[in-house]
Copies of this chain bind each other. A is one copy, B any other.
Amino acid sequence: MSPASDLLASTLADADFHPRLAQQRRLYEAAKSAIHQQQLGAGNKLPSSRDLARDLGFSRNTVIAAFEQLAAEGYVTSAQGSGTYVANLPQLAFISKASVATGGEAEAQLSKRGNDITAFAAGARYEIQPFAPGEADFSGFPFKLWQRLQNRLWRDARTDLLDYGQSGGYLPLRQAITDYLRISRSVKVNVGQVLITAGTQQSLDLCAQLLADAGDTAWVEDPGYWGARRVFQACELALRPVKVDADGMSLSEDDLATDPRLIYVTPSHQYPTGVVMTLARRRELLDVAVRKNAWILEDDYDSEFRYTGRPLASLQGLDTDNRVLYMGTFSKVLYPGIKIGYLVVPNALIEPFKIALYDLQRPGQLMVQAALADFISLGHFTAHVRKIRQMFGARREMLRRTLATALTGQRARISSEESGLHLVVELPDHVDDTALEKLAMESGIHVRALSTYYLAPPVRRGLLVGYAYVTPEKITHYGKVLASVIQSGCAEVVPPTCAKWRSQ
């Protein structure tokens, strides 16, 4: 048995090589690693395929196939008749040198924006996360019905629905959304202006990339939505936090001294405070956008969840100057993972947005888009919204009552607005809400400190409590636990004041 055969045989025995690999592949891997480790040096002659086959107990064809593979990748050269030789690979030398030189040191460098984006991981706690431990409760979703709609499409083997989604998305869905937005949201829209995206993050990304350049300023509500800020940071926009008061985004003189390219707002139901932007503020903002020649990005993320009265009209509906891009999502009304959102753009932007949507994001999922189109046009959507609105409203009431009872005598106030998927428990300014968040976590309860939603120094303290996807049983049980956490936390953090409150 030749030394080379010997070497390859032992290398083959090496446990590193996946048992599921075919003989040919294992031999190829063994030879490759032997060459890499220079156990088989450049110019070395390999045994003939006949000899090696015999030595290893492989079929000769297996060995020949492995040799061909090695030759194809330049590891070996076979000169007609004169056998197979290890190729001359000078690079091997300095590669290994380089490895030693840098080691792992160079590895973890991110770009500046990469560091900004990942500095604070919002990912672990997104807006609709249930406060109680365990899985989110999506039992409100009509599985059977949805499955039936999907199956009809798959049964018909609609090959056209397997392709990428071009020209802005599946037309019947865009039409259904157009009708819905006109009637329910007073959006001024024709079907051509509606683009189907993979969700709000994708809508925001598209807007930021097409409408703003690195270094441009974006006004964002403060406190405000993490996800939008991350996208703007990824696009290297300069974020300017704008205070939010009881009337919504409130522009100061300093704010008005800056020139934003983008203005991101959630006027129907400010995230996370729940404030509704007043008509006066809406008009002021539209006027500022025109004067500053800026674009307003209206994120109407949860207008379906208004439990008393009807949702307010959209800001876009008031826009007479085509400065507003309106976006919504089905992630909250149907299920988060559906990843279907929509973006309504002014006529002048339709073409560039269609091109960029396709070239940058290559949208797909037409099967899901078609199922959703049927779901809406057959009237199931309206029925579903009515159903979960009632369901979530009841859960909200239940959580509010549970907390209110347990928190009597505390200074913690529960936000009164009648919409959305979470409650805000407002705390005295000097209470450390992040400490409370950690305390709650120790009882397995997920709440978010209001102060973490600020870019500027926090103005208000509080806890966001997501109730929409929590079963009633859990709400009553964990609601009490949460209340006691708030009490104790409050006691720990500022005992005297708390004592004073209690004595009142």
Are the CB atoms of A356 and B89 closer together than 8 Å? no
Q: Which residues of B contact A201 (CB under 8 A)?
A: 360-362
Complex alpha-carbon distance, A364 and B364, angstroms: 13
Complex alpha-carbon distance, A32 and B358, angstroms: 38
Are the CB atoms of A126 and B209 closer together than 8 Å? no
Q: With A146-B154, A159-B138, A183-B21 known to touch, is A361 a contact of B286 (CB < 8 Å)?
A: no
Kindly report how many copies of this chain are found in the complex they form together. Answer: 2
Q: Quote the shortest CB–CB distance from A229 to chain B (angstroms).
A: 9
Are the CB atoms of A118 and B355 closer together than 8 Å? yes
Complex alpha-carbon distance, A215 and B287, angstroms: 34
* Interface residue? A312 (CB, 8 A): yes
Q: With A164-B336, A164-B337 known to touch, is A154 a contact of B159 (CB < 8 Å)?
A: no
* Interface residue? A349 (CB, 8 A): yes
* Interface residue? A470 (CB, 8 A): no
* Interface residue? A459 (CB, 8 A): no
Q: Which residues of B contact A365 (CB under 8 A)?
A: 337-339, 365
**Residue in B closest to A226 when the chains form the complex, CB atoms:** B359
Q: Which of A89, A104, A110, A227 has the most CB of B within 10 A?
A: A110
Q: Quote the shortest CB–CB distance from A91 to chain B (angstroms).
A: 3
Are the CB atoms of A210 and B359 closer together than 8 Å? no
B-contact bits for A111-142, CB 8 A (1 contact / 0 none):
11110011001111010000000011111010
Q: Which residues of B contact A367 (CB under 8 A)?
A: 337
Chain A interface residue count, Cβ-Cβ cutoff 8 angstroms = 131
Are the CB atoms of A338 and B312 closer together than 8 Å? no
* Interface residue? A147 (CB, 8 A): yes
Choose one: B117, B135, B211, B321; the contact of A98 (CB below 8 Å): B321
Are the CB atoms of B227 and A336 closer together than 8 Å? no
Q: Which residues of B contact A205 (CB under 8 A)?
A: 205, 360
Complex alpha-carbon distance, A211 and B107, angstroms: 11
Are the CB atoms of A117 and B211 closer together than 8 Å? no
Are the CB atoms of B213 and A355 closer together than 8 Å? no
* Interface residue? A78 (CB, 8 A): no
Q: Which residues of B contact A236 (CB under 8 A)?
A: 213-214, 236
* Interface residue? A3 (CB, 8 A): no
Are the CB atoms of A283 and B366 closer together than 8 Å? no
* Interface residue? A246 (CB, 8 A): no
